Amino acid sequence: MTELLQQAINQVSKLPDELQDSIASIVLAELEDEQKWQAQFASTTDSQWDNLAAMIRQDIKAGEVLPLDDVFPIG
């Protein structure tokens, strides 16, 4: 176990049981979500990635994609 995780567990263990359970539920839901994403990525075929890339290129060509600086302006 990492030092940071141990620190988090130590802090959570000082909280009331109800809050501990709430935090545990959040962590477990995040872990489940991460496992689903990992499985989804692992099962994606090269053909699917190629199709996705082609769709994105078409969106860019059609002007349907905003420049990143327009979405997240600097300064």
pTM: 0.65
| Residue 61, pLDDT score | 93
| Residue 67, pLDDT score | 87
For the chain, residues with pLDDT lower than 50 are none
- What does the alpha-carbon distance between residue 31 and residue 25 come to, in Å, rounded to a whole number? 10
| Contact in structure between 65 and 59 (CB atoms under 8 Å) | yes
- What does the alpha-carbon distance between residue 7 and residue 57 come to, in Å, rounded to a whole number? 45
| Residue 70, pLDDT score | 87
